[in-house]
Amino acid sequence: MAGKKISAFKNEPLTDFSKSANKKAFEKALKKVESELGKEYFVIIDGDRIRTNQTLRSLNPSNREQVIGTFYQANEEYANKAIELAHEKFLKWRTVTPEKRAQYLFKAAAIMRKRKHEFSAWMVYEVGKSWVEADADTAEAIDFMEFYGREMLRYAGDQPLVKLPAEKNRLLYIPLGVGAVIPPWNFPLAILVGMTTAAIVAGNTVVLKPSSDSPSIAIKFFELMEEVGLPKGVLNFVPGPGSGMGDALTKHPLTRFIAFTGSKSVGLHINKAAAETQTGQLWIKRVVAEMGGKDSIIVDNEADLDKAAEGVLYSAFGFQGQKCSACSRAIVVESVHQKFMSKLLDKAKTLTVGNPVDPKNYMGPVINDKALGSMMWYIDKAKQEGGEIVFGGTKDDTVGSFLTPTIVDNVKPKDTISQEEIFGPVLAVIKAKNYDEALEIANNTEYGLTGAVYSKNKNKIERAKAEFHVGNLYLNRKCTGAMVGAHPFGGFNMSGTDSKAGGRDYLMLFTQAKVWSEKVK
Ligand code: NAD
């Protein structure tokens, strides 16, 4: 592709599964992936495949008897070794031109596009995504590579500086060093690919520690980067437990940055550990942490209630509510509460739950039994605090970890399920006296990730723009489904370090600006 003009960025289109050719292609991919389940995967450091003395089996959350893959686990020693070798590799990788680095991303995006259903099929099996959700995840991963590749070229171009008469000045974005990339399981491809490729294209090397709930998807991406010829050791694959091994990655003095997406508690823990200077450490570690949410949709008395009910429903229950952007609170102005609830409950009855290999199932399982237990605890807590379960609330953990979509009405603004992230298909409905109170409630948590308002009143929409304190605010539409480039994504307060994935600022987080000024007269 060198020398070829690069087209403008365009989002990858989503697959229309109502077309029988697409449906057949996806079924074929599911079969292919099914035939590949249960293999063994190594720790991979500087290209070396390593068998350790500990393994972890990744299981299908729809059917725990199905082993997706067995993964050798790294311990602290391997974590240290990975960082040290990646540091050595960095000294070479940083000299590769931005253009060449970007080519690896473009090439990987092209192959992923060709085999997109296969990548999606892994997600159906390993984390229980429906076809549509998995397809969107893969499309986003492709978008990240296409977007960050182009962004790197923009960053590598001339940066505007004030001209001085007797000097030549230049600002260059240079890489940082070795990064530990620590993604979650819920966008097991998109987020992992986004953080990893942003770091790599900016000239850093990466030690990738995948989530223990989605290591197969991570290794498929690693294999793709091998296929495009990324030099050995630029990306290292180090699965293992968060505590212990994960801490070793954060604490190593040669670790220059940590790119993390996950829960508030782990994000804060990493932030604290990274702030402690280790012997021999030459820099202040950079932490890019994208964390949890407690996202609200306000339903105003002047809203189109059909659209609001639909927006709330799909934001709350898409991928079983396991999105950081998921609507977990509907804040409804009292005067329309009854009407809104009857529409919402009617729509909720249409949702289907089951193994997502079958595309008729809108919702699949939740990620594992531990998560299911925590969701049931929250449902119980909601009842104790006066909430009324008006829909769902039942689990089925016989073969997998299933929970019906659950709607809890009469939740008070400070109740536990109104404040804490549940990360499952549990929606709290809260009444507000009026729009003022609705806005106040929307801002009453420690998070600030996404939010939405349904109202036909332009003044109220303007007020939301000014007063609803979230990183991604949606108006008269659902609060999930951010698109790379169009909706740079990331939240405020305890939702993270205010970064914006898929936006023009993002690569800045993986670089540092060097300025040189040369006397010319
Ligand atoms: P998690 O915090 O449990 O785990 C995230 C990652 O951190 C995993 O890879 C895990 O193995 C690792 N980890 C755990 N302890 C560690 C340690 N001590 N050191 C290093 N790594 C460690 O989160 P999860 O359950 O995987 O994901 C769900 C969470 O992610 C939710 O809170 C969700 O809101 C959040 N999330 C946020 C965004 C966003 O953009 N803000 C996007 C997706 C998910």
State whether the beta carbon of 511 lies less than 6 angstroms from ligand 1.
Answer: no
Low-confidence ranges of the chain (pLDDT < 70): 1-3
Q: CA 391, CA 159: separation in Å to the nearest integer?
A: 55
User: Which is catalytic among the residues 324, 420, 421, 479?
Assistant: 324
Element (H, E) at 474: strand 472-475
Q: CA 402, CA 405: separation in Å to the nearest integer?
A: 10
Backbone dihedral angles phi then psi of residue 14, each to the nearest 5 degrees: -85, 155
Q: CA 14, CA 464: separation in Å to the nearest integer?
A: 30
State whether the beta carbon of 324 lies less than 6 angstroms from ligand 1.
Answer: yes
State whether the beta carbon of 242 lies less than 6 angstroms from ligand 1.
Answer: yes
State whether the beta carbon of 261 lies less than 6 angstroms from ligand 1.
Answer: yes
User: Which is catalytic among the residues 118, 151, 290, 421?
Assistant: 290
State whether the beta carbon of 262 lies less than 6 angstroms from ligand 1.
Answer: yes
Which atom in ligand 1 lies closest to the alpha carbon of residue 187? 43
Which atom in ligand 1 lies closest to the alpha carbon of residue 184? 26
Closest residue CA from atom 16 of ligand 1: 242
Q: CA 299, CA 296: separation in Å to the nearest integer?
A: 10
Q: 126, 323, 324: which to mutate for ligand 1, most atoms within 8 A of CB?
A: 324
**60 CB contacts (<8 Å, ≥6 apart)?**
66, 67, 68, 125, 126, 128, 400
C-alpha gyration radius of the chain: 23
Q: Which amino acid is at 44?
A: I
**338 CB contacts (<8 Å, ≥6 apart)?**
none
State whether the beta carbon of 266 lies less than 6 angstroms from ligand 1.
Answer: yes
DSSP 8-class letter at 10: -
Please give the structure tokens belonging to residue 29: 């991919």
Confidence at residue 3, expressed as pLDDT on a 0 to 100 scale: 58
State whether the beta carbon of 488 lies less than 6 angstroms from ligand 1.
Answer: no
Considering only the C-alpha atoms of the chain, give the largest distance between any 2 of them, rounded to a whole number of Å: 79
Please indicate whether residue 151 is annotated as part of the active site.
Answer: no
Closest residue CA from atom 40 of ligand 1: 290
**55 CB contacts (<8 Å, ≥6 apart)?**
40, 70, 71, 72, 73
Which atom in ligand 1 lies closest to the alpha carbon of residue 269? 18
Pick from 93, 82, 101, 95: nearest CA to 254: 82
Q: Which amino acid is at 443?
A: N
Determine contact, residues 496/450, Cβ cutoff 8 Å: no
State whether the beta carbon of 250 lies less than 6 angstroms from ligand 1.
Answer: yes
State whether the beta carbon of 201 lies less than 6 angstroms from ligand 1.
Answer: no
Please give the structure tokens belonging to residue 168: 């030549």
Q: CA 429, CA 432: separation in Å to the nearest integer?
A: 10
Confidence at residue 1, expressed as pLDDT on a 0 to 100 scale: 46
Determine contact, residues 293/491, Cβ cutoff 8 Å: yes
Which atom in ligand 1 lies closest to the alpha carbon of residue 496? 41
State whether the beta carbon of 188 lies less than 6 angstroms from ligand 1.
Answer: no
Please indicate whether residue 133 is annotated as part of the active site.
Answer: no
Residues 247-303: pLDDT tens digits?
A: 999 999 999 999 999 999 999 999 999 999 999 999 999 999 999 999 999 999 999
pTM: predicted TM-score of the whole model, two decimal places: 0.98
Under DSSP, is residue 169 helix (H, G, I), strand (E, B) or coil?
A: strand
DSSP 8-class letter at 487: S
Confidence at residue 521, expressed as pLDDT on a 0 to 100 scale: 80
Closest residue CA from atom 19 of ligand 1: 246
Ligand 1 centre to CA of 373 (Å) is 18
**Could you tell me the domains of the chain?**
25-291+499-517 (3.40.605.10), 295-484 (3.40.309.10)
Ligand 1 centre to CA of 76 (Å) is 19
Q: 258, 263, 420: which to mutate for ligand 1, most atoms within 8 A of CB?
A: 263
CA angle 163, 160, 5 (to 5 degrees): 130
Element (H, E) at 459: helix 458-467
Pick from 127, 134, 113, 122: nearest CA to 29: 122
Determine contact, residues 294/328, Cβ cutoff 8 Å: yes
